[in-house]
Amino acid sequence: MEDIERSAVPRSFQLGDLAHAGTYVVDDRGRIVEVNPRAERMLRRSAGELLGRDAHDLLHRGERGEPLPRSRCVMRQPLLTSDSAHGEDVWLERGDGSLVQIAWMVTPCRVGEAGSGALVLFHETGSAGLGERQRARPAPSMSELERLALLAETTTTLTASLDVSETLRQLVRLVVPLLADWAVVDLLTEEGEVSRAAVVHHENGVLAHRADLERPMPPLPHESPMPLARALRGVTAALVGPRDYEGPLDSRLAAVQRELFEATGIRSACTAPIRGVRDVVGAMTLGRSEQPQPYTTDDLLLVEDIARRAGLALDNARLFERQRRVAETMQRHLLPRLPVVPGLEMGACYVPAPRASQVGGDWYDAFMLSGGAAGLVIGDVVGHDLDAASGMAQVCNMLRAYAGEVEEPPSVIVDRLDQAVARMAETTMATVVFARAEPGDGGWQLRWTNAGHPPPLLVEGDGRTRYLEGASGLLLGTGFAPVREDAVVDLPPRSTVLFYTDGLIESPSHSLDEGLDRLRRQAAALTRHPLSAYCDRLLTRVRPADNDDDVALLTLRVPG
């Protein structure tokens, strides 16, 4: 810190404060790559929640908690120009949704061996939340430039995710409290039913859900002239107030909407249809209960435009989730029941990727071979979604057929498989370990070959571990013809062999070596557990929190 010139330090950022400052480092794309414990405490976020995330999207907010367009973010400018800068009166969002006002300093630094980035130092200068003065402040009228900036930010933010829940969360954060005190989103299901997916209120600087109001809704009446029913049928947006739901009501849906106005105290609202590419996805209602001025026609046009962009994002997210469900179902149906092998125990599990992620091509297989041997397979087809699942199905079935046709070493089987993969209509690349557990007079042996896959892990009964790194070669589908080899290891009583895919050990925030070391330690610690619980416990302890891939795990144990 002594290298920072006194003249570069703002008045609110004295040199004596630097030891107590929060710091983080971003790379040339603005992603957080390092963070100190002080910053974790000030931002109320763990390192795992910060690392790898875009600092602007995650943290930077306007003084009312609204997402800040990148063009108005003063902390991003020095990142673009590689200059040093400092300032005050910037708001960051904490992990609990509250805001912290900071003084800050940004200076260029080197990230890694050849990369560039910036060091950010900051400390708190204001309240951790929004005070009563800020909450009661009327929403200022937006200029045309601010409206365009909000619409651009809406498009960028909502199209960044293919998860419906995350898209809804980002939609609410864009409009509350900037445009509304309340945001209500009703979605139409694929069966035509209505579900109230979000009722969110801006309260004490935090976006709070009203879970008691989020629920399945009554059927949509096809001829009702009431505003919500019209919006759910795709009719133009409308200015709405409690008076629209006074007097006799024509449907249960209208009655629930009247209850919403009564429960929230909304005095003025806009209700707009959320349209997808082909159909109406739902409706969005923005309401003001604390902000004194009612909505105007100009506000209505802006809300309608935001809802239209949200509809495209939600439509894409739903299409992706449907495709993902098909791929995941195909993948699960292709995973086998484990055979019963006298003298051996087996266990397996498959965990799909997080909802916002793409389905991979991970698989495991186990089957009986001649002479009492067992074939064991773990693999991963490169790619995602239906292409990966389809490729996985073909590779899996071909390997099983080749292995059961004649008794040959694993290297010969995998070499034949590699040639077959090269002839597939769609270009397919995959990693795979194929092993044979073979009985003998002195016990069991494992004979295997590895085509570009993470090495199996052998855990002995006393907790000693080693990775089976022999017989490693190129992955399948490269077009080359590598010479493949076999390796053999004795399996002592009470030993366990783990076959796994890379989703178990890889993480954006940790090196591969750290993942392998974590797997080794936890596998040894759990070795005395029965195999029926081994896989689940191992996944819980080893799988990274920021994992963005599916995981397949196959275990083999020689009883004592």
CA dihedral 316, 183, 295, 222 (to 10 degrees): 60
The span from the CA of 421 to the CA of 127, in Å, is 61
Other CB atoms within a 10 A radius of the CB of residue 402 amount to 18
Q: Is the bond preceding 177 in cis, omega lying within 30 degrees of 0?
A: yes
At position 183, the amino acid (one-letter code) is A
Count Cα atoms within 13 angstroms, Cβ side, for 160: 16
**Statement to judge: residues 356 and 277 lie in one domain:** no
In the listed set 272, 299, 324, which residue is the last one of a domain according to the structure? Answer: 324
Q: Helices 297-334 and 144-158 sit at what angle, rounded to 10 degrees? A: 10
**Statement to judge: residues 528 and 383 lie in one domain:** yes
Q: What is the pLDDT of residue 355?
A: 53
Residue indicated by tokens 């139409």: 188
CA dihedral 499, 500, 501, 504 (to 10 degrees): -160
Note if the pTM is more than 0.75.
no
Tokens (6 digits) for 8:
């570069």
In the listed set 291, 324, 357, which residue is the last one of a domain according to the structure? Answer: 324
The span from the CA of 280 to the CA of 235, in Å, is 10
> CATH number, domain at 317?
3.30.450.40
Q: Which residues contact 259 (CB under 8 A, 6 or more apart)?
A: none
Tokens (6 digits) for 511:
């090196």
Pairing of strands 85-93, 99-111: antiparallel
**Statement to judge: residues 316 and 350 lie in one domain:** no
Q: What is the pLDDT of residue 493?
A: 94
The answer to whether residue 136 sits within a structural domain is: no
**Statement to judge: residues 316 and 212 lie in one domain:** yes
Q: Which residues contact 28 (CB under 8 A, 6 or more apart)?
A: 79, 111, 115, 116, 117
User: Is 102 in contact with 13 (CB distance < 8 Å)?
Assistant: no
Identify each DSSP E strand in 314-411 by its residue range: 345-351, 361-368, 374-381
CA 61 to chain centroid, in Å, comes to 22
In the listed set 261, 295, 324, which residue is the last one of a domain according to the structure? Answer: 324
User: Is 237 in contact with 307 (CB distance < 8 Å)?
Assistant: yes
Q: Which residues of 210-224 are buried (b: 16+ CB within 10 A; e: fewer)?
A: beebeeebeebbeeb
What DSSP letter does each residue of 265-325 carry, written as one string?
Answer: T--EEEEEEEE-SSSEEEEEEEEESSS-SPP-HHHHHHHHHHHHHHHHHHHHHHHHHHHHH
**Statement to judge: residues 308 and 360 lie in one domain:** no
Q: What is the pLDDT of residue 547?
A: 75
**Statement to judge: residues 443 and 503 lie in one domain:** yes
Tokens (6 digits) for 321:
């989730």
User: Is 39 in contact with 32 (CB distance < 8 Å)?
Assistant: no
Count Cα atoms within 13 angstroms, Cβ side, for 241: 7
Q: What is the pLDDT of residue 3?
A: 39
The answer to whether residue 138 sits within a structural domain is: no
Q: What is the pLDDT of residue 437?
A: 97
**Torsion angles phi and psi, residue 222, rounded to 5:** -85, -10
Q: What is the pLDDT of residue 319?
A: 83
- Reported as a single tens digit per residue, the pLDDT across 253-273 is 999 999 999 999 999 999 999
**Statement to judge: residues 320 and 341 lie in one domain:** no
Q: What is the pLDDT of residue 538?
A: 93
**Statement to judge: residues 377 and 444 lie in one domain:** yes
The answer to whether residue 135 sits within a structural domain is: no
CA dihedral 263, 269, 270, 272 (to 10 degrees): 10
The answer to whether residue 139 sits within a structural domain is: no
**Statement to judge: residues 259 and 116 lie in one domain:** no
Nearest Cα neighbor of 88 from 60, 124, 129, 47 is: 124
Q: Which domain holds residue 44?
A: 6-129
**Statement to judge: residues 31 and 154 lie in one domain:** no
Nearest Cα neighbor of 415 from 426, 429, 402 is: 402
**Statement to judge: residues 366 and 255 lie in one domain:** no
Q: What is the pLDDT of residue 1?
A: 37
Tokens (6 digits) for 363:
């698989």
Q: What is the pLDDT of residue 326?
A: 72
Query: How many domains does the chain contain in total?
Result: 3
**Statement to judge: residues 303 and 371 lie in one domain:** no
Strand partners, 216: 195
Q: What is the pLDDT of residue 335?
A: 74
Ranges under pLDDT 70 in the chain: 1-19, 71, 80-81, 113-115, 127-141, 327-328, 330-334, 354-360, 384-386, 389
The span from the CA of 169 to the CA of 529, in Å, is 41
Q: What is the pLDDT of residue 344?
A: 95
> CATH number, domain at 458?
3.60.40.10
